[in-house]
Amino acid sequence: MELSTKTPRIEVVDALRGFAVMAILLVHNLEHFIFPVYPESSPEWLTILDAGVLNATFSLLAGKSYAIFALLFGFTFFIQSHNQQLKGKDFGYRFLWRMVLLVGFATLNAAFFPAGDVLLLFAVVSLVLFIVRKWSDKAILITAILFSLQPIEWFHYIMSLFNPAYTLPDLNVGAMYAEVADYTKAGNFWDFLIGNITLGQKASLFWAIGAGRFLQTAGLFLFGLYIGRKELFVATESHLKFWTKALIITAISFAPLYSLKEQIIQSDSSLIQQTVGTAFDMWQKFAFTIVLVSSFMLLYQKDKFKKAVSNLRFYGKMSLTNYISQSILGAIIYFPFGLYLAPYCGYTLSLIIGIVLFLLQVKFCKWWLSKHKQGPLETIWHKWTWIGTKK
């Protein structure tokens, strides 16, 4: 199907983005927004329940919500780029300016999120979208696959085979996060803000290097761009067949990938754990991410499911506002400068708090969108993206 007018908004993408941001909110609540302070003791029944909540939530959502978010980031780039292309314009340089603005939003979010913010990683890695924007579909798909193979991790592993004394670069991430934990526990608000937007952001980027997130994110961006070019989120018969095949293949692949990952991380060699283990961990998470995306896409064609998740559309339309406001609210709830509820909240209670926050955010989204076209931060980002020009 050839697009000849401005690309219409695709409902399922808003709902899927809303699901991803909701999942991030729930995972971050269980983590106390990367502030690992929990009750020192709990009744046995609650300890068992907490363990179940933690395992279920992390197995289903951790690492997958971020991946969906990244996938849709690449898809959104396609939509914006394509709309400008239809007008005979190159969106590339305006996109770079848009990413400069994203660094500002990343800084705002990181101020309340001690672990550093993924939006900064997105802004840095997004350069790959600028570079490939005029490449062919085939070249983009091949590059996405190459990035997803985690070549840097395999390089380190192969080097260790030739040189038993080979070690991974020490990026000092542990020491940086220890310092972050110290000033967070101290409870001084200004030290907290300044430390987060400097040391916290640095620690986050260095952690992403060691965790293979740079190339993984680049690969996800390109897969999202490819999905956009092929219009796979448009619910035609052939596209639904594609998502059905994707669901079957990734569902079958997940179990062996997960099993291999579990075996590898039992290795006595920390280098193998951090290289081959990282690669297989990302592959099994990617497989499960596609299971989630394809299942969501197929289920969304059913009226009952579409109605059940309708609130996610509102939530997804204001994803930037919701993503940043959840960090601010989480910091106020859990951290020492705020209510400091972290020592009193186990995983179950933290999940309940996350659900309540989600419902409150949804209510705000519905109210706001009844009066405005976009969320408050989305409006700022949109206006500043196009400042000095007429679209």
- Closest to 223 (Cα-Cα) out of 13, 72, 63, 8: 72
Structure tokens at 383: 């206006």
Return d(Cα 360, Cα 157) in angstroms, integer. Answer: 47
How far apart CA 243 and CA 176 sit, in angstroms, is 42
Dig out the tokens for 288 from the structure: 């499960």
From the list 24, 50, 59, 26, the residue with the least C-alpha distance to 261 is 59
The model's pTM is 0.95
CA atoms of 274 and 268, how far apart (whole Å): 11
Pick the closest to residue 225 from 344, 348, 316, 143 (CA basis).
143
Report angle CA 152, 173, 32 to the nearest 5 degrees.
110
pLDDT at position 3, please?
A: 42
**Predicted confidence (pLDDT) per residue in 198-214, tens digit:** 999 999 999 999 899 99
pLDDT of residue 112: 95
- Rounded Cα gap, residues 9 and 24, in angstroms: 23
pLDDT score at 359: 98
pLDDT for the residue 391: 52
CA torsion, points 346, 116, 216, 167, in degrees to nearest 10? -90
**What integer pLDDT is reported at residue 388 of this predicted model?**
76
Closest CA to 379 of 331, 317, 315: 317
Q: How far apart are CA 297 and CA 233, in angstroms?
A: 8
What's the pLDDT tens digit per position in 54-78? 999 999 998 899 999 999 999 999 9
Instruction: Report the pLDDT value the prediction gives residue 6, as an integer from 0 to 100.
Output: 60
Check: CB of residue 191 under 8 Å from CB of residue 183.
yes
CA distance 185 to 92: 43
List the chain pLDDT tens, one digit each, 391 residues. Answer: 344 456 667 899 999 999 999 999 999 999 999 999 999 999 999 999 999 999 999 999 988 999 999 999 999 999 999 999 999 999 999 999 999 999 999 999 999 998 888 999 999 999 999 999 999 999 999 999 999 999 999 999 999 999 989 999 989 999 999 999 999 999 999 999 999 999 999 999 999 998 999 999 999 999 999 999 999 999 999 999 999 999 999 999 999 999 999 999 999 999 999 999 999 999 999 999 999 999 999 999 999 999 999 999 999 999 999 999 999 999 999 999 999 999 999 999 999 999 999 999 999 999 999 999 999 999 999 999 998 776 5
Could you count the other beta carbons within 10 Å of the beta carbon of residue 173?
18
pLDDT at 63: 87
pLDDT of residue 8: 66
DSSP-assigned letters across all residues of 86-99: TTT---HHHHHHHH
pLDDT for 4 equals 44
> What phi and psi values does residue 300 have, to the nearest 5 degrees?
-65, -15
**Identity of the residue numbered 260:** L
Positive/negative CA dihedral, 111, 35, 313, 12: positive
pLDDT of residue 117: 84
Q: What is the pLDDT of residue 115?
A: 82
